[in-house]
Amino acid sequence: QVQLVESGGGVVQPGGSLRLSCAASGFALRSYAMHWVRQGPGKGLEWVAVISYDGSMKYYADSVKGRFTVSRDNSQNTLYLQMNTLRTEDTAVYYCARHRGGQLEVNYYYDYWGQGTLVTVSS
């Protein structure tokens, strides 16, 4: 069965860095674009980033552009999110989610999500 398992969350000081991982199983990661979506405490869902199936295309939310980098290792069935220069407003549960739909840029949705990993940015 399809599984996505995030890891790497924790407590970090403002200005610090963290790398999240998302291990995929039960399907061929190399065939799917993947996204990161976050949810602040008691808040709604916010899209963070997307990476194409082969890693050649990446897009970011304006709120994280220049600070976060999404990458993938299809040979290891793993997705990553490198987060630098963290701010208190980055505090959230971070989910990886599998892209479904015909195109990377339009009419897509998420058919599988991981359980999430909590990132807390605090001094």
Instruction: Compare residues 44 and 66 and give the one whose CB is closer to other proteins.
Output: 44
Judged by CB under 8 A, the residue of 59, 67, 74, 84 near other proteins is 59
Contact call for residue 111 and other proteins (CB under 8 A): yes
Contact call for residue 101 and other proteins (CB under 8 A): yes
Contact call for residue 104 and other proteins (CB under 8 A): yes
Contact call for residue 23 and other proteins (CB under 8 A): no
Judged by CB under 8 A, the residue of 11, 28, 76, 100 near other proteins is 100
- HSE-CB at 24 with a 13 A cutoff on CA atoms is 25
Tokens of 106: 């339009």
Q: Which residues contact 13 (CB under 8 A, 6 or more apart)?
A: 86, 121, 122, 123
Cα–Cα distances in Å, from 24 out to 6, 15, 30, 88, 105? 9, 29, 10, 29, 22
Provide the minimum distance between the beta carbon of 94 and other proteins in the complex, in angstroms, as a whole number: 11
Judged by CB under 8 A, the residue of 41, 44, 66, 123 near other proteins is 44
Could you tell me if 60 and 38 are in contact, meaning their C-beta atoms sit under 8 angstroms apart?
Answer: no
Q: Contact residues for other proteins (CB under 8 A)? A: 44-47, 50, 59, 61-62, 95, 100-101, 104-111, 113-116
